[in-house]
Amino acid sequence: MATAICTRFSDEYELHEELGKGAFSVVRRCVQRNTGHEFAAKIINTKKLTPRDFQKLEREARICRKLQHPNIVRLHESIQEENSHYLVFDLVTGGELFEDIVAREFYSEADASHCIQQILESVNHCHHNGIVHRDLKPENLLLASKIKGAAVKLADFGLAIEVQGDAQAWFGFAGTPGYLSPEVLRKEPYGKPVDIWACGVILYILLVGYPPFWDEDQHKLYAQIKAGSYDYPSPEWDTVTPEAKNLINQMLTVNPSKRITASDALKHPWICQRERVASVVHRQETVDCLKKFNARRKLKGAILTTILATRNFSSKYDAQGRSIITKKGDGSQVKESTDSSTTIEDDDPKEDKRGGVDRSCTVIAKEPEGPASQGTPPNSPGAVSAFSRLVGAASQTNKQPQNQVQGNPLGLAAVLLQGAQG
């Protein structure tokens, strides 16, 4: 795969329907003229990009070119024209992994093992090539097709970074709150282990349908994560094998130097000997909780998008309402997450690292994606009432003069998913 500077995209590809749209980009299905193969073309309007946006675009394309793996959404071609940049990716049509799970007639611990194995395979390939994803979460885990047993595909490398070996450094505050590692929250040097921590959170959810860390108060959520404060409450965890819990414990180890690596996790008995170790009993309770978990994620995104699009915010957010930039009193910018399942990024290495994460500029209240208190299933009344408060809090927020709202490019995973569900 190479970047073509002079080639015209239209000479090689025929564009079809739109799959999704962002502030600076649109994703459309396209067909390669000489082969008839279908792809997803992310078309970026480069006239609207800042120099920093150009750097991020070049970084994303450079990283994607390095990664060729069956469990990663592959970049096939990158074409630069005068006012547009075309990124030609795999066309994935299976939707989100988590949505597929709840539609299955049977789902067991062994199925969860197979899912996390594919995720770990993609992460291991990234780490082997010196790439840290930094935003592993359910929204970025897609299925290649709707065929039963289709491969899990890791998508959206917009926050990914390049690292040298096992070196660690401060690369900026980036990721999704519910999946952030302790070292990122402490603003310490970090590297590949942050992806393993996120895998541990994902595995926990795959087994019971709700996350290991949750609190309606973001400060308390971060305190839980930094302390590694999670448990395995009854009765839902009583039927999970000790081997599965052991792998989670090794992934959710607070000290990153002692956290298991992707390659070692793939050698864990619960992964490589799942036929003998993992339970094959259907986990209906997990499916039921996961349905509620998925529904809240989708509803939050839709409501936040509507609220942010119709209110007079002097804020910068992306087309999914996934994150906001607000101005502090000194004129500096702080990017804040609207809830614990949305992506945030503040990649200024000069940012003050002493005080942790400043939550004082949060514009919109968050709705919990998990249980109302740690260890409580997410279908509790507390979780529902908290979400109802979200709309009221948002509608009362920020009455500043009207300003034009600007957006960031829509994440590839989101637009590919829109196409799959449309």
Which residues are marked as active site? 135
Distance CA 55, CA 361 (A): 27
Structure tokens at 372: 């109302």
Distance CA 365, CA 387 (A): 9
Task: Say if residue 42 carries a ligand binding annotation.
Answer: yes
Among candidate residues 43, 24, 93, the one with its CA nearest the CA of residue 422:
93
Distance CA 89, CA 158 (A): 14
Instruction: Tell me whether strands 3-4 and 75-80 are parallel, antiparallel or unpaired.
Output: parallel
Distance CA 88, CA 364 (A): 35
Contacts of 138 (CB under 8 A, 6+ apart): 96, 97, 98, 202, 205, 294, 297
Among candidate residues 157, 171, 167, 39, the one with its CA nearest the CA of residue 93:
39
Q: Is 38 helix (H, G, I), strand (E, B) or coil?
A: strand
Among candidate residues 94, 97, 59, 95, the one with its CA nearest the CA of residue 78:
59
Using the Cα atoms of residue 401, residue 402, residue 406 and residue 411 in order, give the sign of their dihedral: positive
Binding region for ATP: 42
Which residues participate in the annotated binding site? 42
